[in-house]
Amino acid sequence: MSGTEWALEMVGISKRFPGVAALDRVDFRCRRGEVHALMGANGAGKSTLMKILAGAVLPDEGEIRINGQRVQFSTPEDAIRHGVAIIYQELSLSLQLSVAENVFLGRYPRTRLGLVDWPGMYKAARELLDSLGVPMDVRRPAAELSLGQRQILELAKALSLNAQILVMDEPSAALTEAEFATLVRVVHDLRRQGRTIIYISHRLEEVFQLADRVTVLRDGRKVAERDVAELDRASLAELMVGRPIVAGTPAAPARRDAQPLLRVQGLRNGRLKQLDLEVAAGEVVGLFGLVGSGRSEALRGIFAADQAAYEAMWLEGNPVRFRSPYDAIRAGIALVPEDRKLEGVVLARPVWENLAVASYRYLTRRGVVHYPLVWEKVSSIMERLQIKAASRDVLTGTLSGGNQQKVAIGKWLVRLPKVVLLDEPTRGIDIGAKEHVYHAIHELAAEGVAVVVASSEIDELLRLCDRILVLYQGRLAGAYPRNETLRETILQCALTGGEA
C-alpha cells in the first residue's frame, strides 16, 4: 500500500521524559474509513502518542503524515486545522452553556452586523446532531444531558470542525449499555462516511465489536499491528501482557486471623454492581481494575461521598450506616479522592488551613480554635511528609502536584483515623513524591490503621498491599496475595474477568 493511501502515518515517534522513555521509535498508521484500536496496559505509551498527534506534546524524533503529506503540529490548533480531533475521556464541555453553544464554542456564526446568529447556530447544531441520529434539544444546557449524550455532543463538536481523523479515548467508560449501543452505531456510520476512528479502550470485547485493526503498545514500544479478525481475547491479552496467558482459577487470598476492622457487604454504587470487602487493622488492601471497573465507586460508596447502597457495614465489629461524609469522618473514615484539585484540597487557601480542616474539633480549647496546637500539628505533618512550601501560609495552589497530594493526605493525619481510603494516591506526581506517599501509607499501617488503595498501577499495588482485589465490570473477579510473580495474572484478570 502506498503512503498516500494512509489517512495517518506516525513514523519513528520517540519521546522521553525525565528518567522515562515514554515512546521508543513507534510506528502507527491508519487507513481512511477504518476503526483502529490502540491498545496497551497502563503506562504503555498510548496517551503520549495521541497527545503528540493532538499537538499537545512535541516528539523528540519522528514525523507525522496526513494523507501522505508531512505535517508538524506545534499546537492543538495545528492538529485541528489538519482534520485531527481528540475526544478525551475527561470531556471538555462547558456545562452551563447550551448544546449549540458547546458545538460552536469559540466559533459562533455571525450576522452581517457582527452579532451572534442564534437561529443559524441552532439550525446548524440541530442538523449536525440529526445526522448522527441522536436528536437533542440544542437550547438545553449541557449540564442536563446524560453522560452518553455528552459523549455524542463532544463528537458533534469534533465533526463541526470537519475532522477526518477522530481519536476516542475510553469513550464507553461511563456509558450505560443503551448509550454504548448508540455510540457503536454512530462510530459505524462515521466509518461508512470514510472517516478514520482511533479507538482507545481497555475493554477487549469492545475491540472485537468495533475495530477493523489493532495496534498494541507495551512499555513504550509497538509490539503488534494486526487485523482484529486474526485475534481472539486470549491472544490480544497476551500481546498486551507480554507472556502467554495460562488458564486457571485466580488465587485465593492468604488466610488472615485478624478480625476485620472494616467490613462491607453487598456494596453497590453506579458502575460498581456488587462488592464484599473487608480490611483488618494494619492491613493494606489494593483495588485494581481498568477504567470503569468500579474502583473509585467502591471507595466513594464506603465514605458516603455518593448515594451508594450496601446490605451491611461494620466498623470494629459494630454495625454502622453513613448518610454523609460527615458521618464517615466522625466514625474515623478518611478518603483521599482521585481528583485532588477538585475534591482533595482547597487551592485558594493556605497550606495550614488545608491540613487542619478535617480536625478542627480536635484542635480547640473550650470551643475556640487553639492556634498553638494547630501550628504544632501542621508543622509536624509538613515535616513528616516533607511538604515543600515556603511557609505554612502559602496558598496550596502554588505548590507542585506532588506537594498538593501530600497535603491531601496530610489533612487526615492530624488526627489518626481508623480507616484510610486512597484513590490513585500517586497520580501525576514525580518519583520522589511517590516515595514519600508510600512511606506515609506504610506508617499508617504500622500504626494499626486499615488502608484501602485503589490504583491503576499494578506495580504500585504490589509494592504497597498485603492483598489485591481485582474488579471487572463492577464485580470482584479475583483476589491475590502480594506476589511479584502474579503481575501478569492480575493484569489478565482485569482485562478478561479471570477468563482464559
Residue 107 lies in a domain: yes
With a cut of 60, say whether residue 247 has pLDDT above it.
no
Residue 13 lies in a domain: yes
With a cut of 60, say whether residue 499 has pLDDT above it.
no
In the chain, the number of structural domains is 2
Question: For 452-485, what is each residue's pLDDT tens digit?
Answer: 999 888 888 998 999 999 998 889 998 998 877 7
Residue 252 lies in a domain: no
With a cut of 50, say whether residue 1 has pLDDT above it.
no
Same structural domain, 459 and 487: yes
With a cut of 60, say whether residue 257 has pLDDT above it.
no
Residue 96 lies in a domain: yes
The predicted pLDDT at position 44 comes to 80
Average the pLDDT over 380-400 and give the result: 85
Residue 36 lies in a domain: yes
pLDDT top residue among 176 and 332: 332
Same structural domain, 235 and 301: no
Please state which of the ranges 102-106, 251-255, 280-284, 378-382 shows the lowest mean pLDDT.
Answer: 251-255
The predicted pLDDT at position 253 comes to 40
* Residue after which a domain boundary falls, among 241, 276, 310: 241
Average the pLDDT over 212-234 and give the result: 92
* Cell 461511563 -> residue: 174
Burial class (CB in 10 A: 0-12, 13-18, 19+), 118: middle
With a cut of 80, say whether residue 417 has pLDDT above it.
yes
Question: For 12-60, what is each residue's pLDDT tens digit?
Answer: 999 998 767 889 999 999 999 999 999 987 668 888 899 999 999 999 9
With a cut of 60, say whether residue 250 has pLDDT above it.
no
Same structural domain, 234 and 264: no
Q: What band does 252 get if pLDDT is binned at 50, 70 and 90?
A: very low
Rounded percentage of the chain residues whose pLDDT exceeds 90:
39
The predicted pLDDT at position 458 comes to 85
Q: What band does 385 get if pLDDT is binned at 50, 70 and 90?
A: confident
Q: Which of 152, 198, 184 is nearest to 51 (CA)?
A: 198
Same structural domain, 160 and 308: no
The predicted pLDDT at position 176 comes to 61
The CATH number of the domain holding residue 234 is 3.40.50.300
With a cut of 50, say whether residue 213 has pLDDT above it.
yes
Same structural domain, 338 and 397: yes
* Residue after which a domain boundary falls, among 212, 241, 270: 241
Same structural domain, 215 and 305: no
Q: What band does 216 get if pLDDT is binned at 50, 70 and 90?
A: very high
Residue 111 lies in a domain: yes
Same structural domain, 200 and 68: yes
Give me the domain span that covers residue 111.
3-241
With a cut of 80, say whether residue 451 has pLDDT above it.
yes
Q: What band does 249 get if pLDDT is binned at 50, 70 and 90?
A: very low
Question: For 343-383, what is each residue's pLDDT tens digit?
Answer: 888 889 999 988 988 887 778 888 888 888 889 889 988 98
How many Cβ atoms sit within 10 Å of the Cβ of residue 298? 29
pLDDT top residue among 20 and 128: 128
The predicted pLDDT at position 64 comes to 96
Rounded distance, CA 30 to CA 153, Å? 24
Q: What predicted TM-score, i.e. pTM, was given to this entire model?
A: 0.63
Question: Which residue type does 373 have?
Answer: L
Rounded distance, CA 500 to CA 494, Å? 12
The predicted pLDDT at position 101 comes to 94
With a cut of 80, say whether residue 243 has pLDDT above it.
no
Averaged pLDDT score across all residues of the chain: 86
Q: What band does 255 get if pLDDT is binned at 50, 70 and 90?
A: very low
Residue 249 lies in a domain: no
With a cut of 50, say whether residue 80 has pLDDT above it.
yes
Residue 105 lies in a domain: yes
Average the pLDDT over 226-251 and give the result: 74
The predicted pLDDT at position 416 comes to 82
Same structural domain, 204 and 234: yes
Q: Which of 343, 309, 337 is nearest to 323 (CA)?
A: 309
How many Cβ atoms sit within 10 Å of the Cβ of residue 249? 7
* Residue after which a domain boundary falls, among 241, 270, 297: 241
Same structural domain, 180 and 288: no
Q: How far is CA 84 from CA 56, 66, 385, in A?
A: 12, 9, 43
Same structural domain, 198 and 312: no
With a cut of 60, say whether residue 256 has pLDDT above it.
no
pLDDT top residue among 412 and 63: 63
With a cut of 90, say whether residue 212 has pLDDT above it.
yes
Same structural domain, 237 and 156: yes
Same structural domain, 224 and 284: no
The predicted pLDDT at position 222 comes to 95
